[in-house]
Amino acid sequence: MNKATRLTELDEQAIEYIAIGAAVLGTGGGGDPHVGKLMAMEAIRKFGPVRIAQLEELDDEGLIVPVSMIGAPTVMLEKIPSADQLTKPLDLMERELGRKVDAVMPIEVGGGNSLVPVIAAAQRGIPLVDADAMGRAFPESQMVTFHLEGIPCSPVAMADERGNSALMHTIDGVWEERMARALTVEMGGSASICDYPVSGAQVKQSAIGGTLTLAYEIGRTLFEAKKQKLNPVRELLTKLSGYALFHGKAVDIRRRMDGGFTRGEAVFEGTGENKGKSLRLFFQNEFLLATVDDQPLAITPDLITLLDQDTGMPVTTENLKYGARVTVAGLPCDDKWRTPIGIETAGPRYFGYDFDYVPIETLAAKGGAVK
């Protein structure tokens, strides 16, 4: 994407687009985009548009803090956080570090977490960085590019909606995940969190840039396709160099709350050219593995996302319903995830799937995917 076309400001229209794009990149998770959208809209109405900072604009010495929600998306739908809850970890972080935060950023571009920092940026009148630390959504705190590059996660600040809060120093991102997840469960299944406070220089080095703009472009593409009566799924996959892995109808969905996650599995019966086949989709907040006849079509850290066959609109793990007709789409992940430490951190074996990671392009070339 041309940097000249990148976002400079978020208004209500941009929020609308980003919410959709983030649900595509959210691969089913990342927190409910609808809740994130409503909260971001309200903040912008109240405080005015949010300025977007591109990576190259950041002062190397600046303090950038990711703001997000941690927990099971299932819970966030029912327990919508207040603006105060979202900015509480930022207050704790500033107090701990003894300085003001210069800008906020999404920790993940996927789902509601792409828009959660909008509320903090609007309320404080500070910029939101057009970047994130996943280029998608992932279920665990250490699954961020900052972790891959050895940036400490601490201090970690958390708050719930009742007034409970915690400021933690953990020896690494894996310990953060354990401790923050345990607190999240006690806090009722979701909490607001700030972790990986970084310098401008660190963000430039380690974050994935332009991902809010990417989410915006995805949303705009789906809207435009609808307006121009084009096939939205095809338009989108062309734009993203993505793959249509399978066309099918949801015939079985099992999700459960487990250790602060929504875990489960969905089965799709093939439609059209996939008739007679069935696809299994495994998730832990996010879709992580798609198989047909026990052979993988797409494997984490590559992105697996569900698109409504008619509208091209993304379907989350939470909103997937029996009978839904979807295209299971695959998108290549950022190259940072295709390193040995990337695969170790967020590859199939970490999640307990008995496959080696194979890039989606390779799997597709073998004929797995339906272009």
| Cα angle for residues 213, 371, 355 (degrees, 5° grid) | 85
With beta carbons less than 8 A apart as the criterion, state whether 105 and 209 touch: no
DSSP, collapsed to helix, strand or coil, labels residue 227 as helix
* Tokens describing residue 21: 């794009």
- Of 175 and 355, nearer to its own copies (C-beta) is 175
Q: How far is the CB of 182 from its own copies (least distance, A)?
A: 4
Contact 190, 79 (CB under 8 A): yes
CB 70 within 8 Å of CB 158:
yes
Tell the smallest beta-carbon distance from residue 212 to its own copies (Å).
32
Q: How far is the CB of 363 from its own copies (least distance, A)?
A: 37
Reduced to 3 states, what is the DSSP secondary structure of residue 60? Answer: coil
State the minimum distance, in angstroms, from the CB of residue 324 to its own copies.
36
Contacting residues toward its own copies, per CB under 8 A = 162-171, 175, 178-179, 182-183, 185-187
Nearer to its own copies, 72 or 244 (CB): 72
Considering the complex, state which of residue 158 and residue 233 has its C-beta at the smaller distance from its own copies: 158
Q: What is the DSSP string of 66-85?
A: E-EEEE-HHHHTTSPPPHHH
Q: How near is the Cβ of 313 to its own copies at its closest, in Å?
A: 37
CB 131 within 8 A of CB 208: yes
When the beta carbons of 24 and 93 are compared against its own copies, the nearer one is 93
Alpha carbon distance 266, 130 (integer Å): 33
Q: Which two tokens stand for residue 58?
A: 């950041």
- Backbone dihedral region of 332: left (phi > 0), alpha (psi from -120 to 50 degrees) or beta? beta
Instruction: Compute the least distance from the CB of residue 102 to its own copies, in Å.
Output: 24
How do strand 63-66 and strand 103-105 relate by DSSP bridges? parallel
Measured from the CB atom, the residue of 170 and 317 that comes closer to its own copies is 170
Measured CA to CA, the distance from residue 47 to residue 275 in angstroms comes to 51
Q: Least Å distance between CB 185 and its own copies?
A: 7
Q: Which is nearer to its own copies, 156 or 240 (CB)?
A: 156
Task: Considering the complex, state which of residue 174 and residue 253 has its C-beta at the smaller distance from its own copies.
Answer: 174
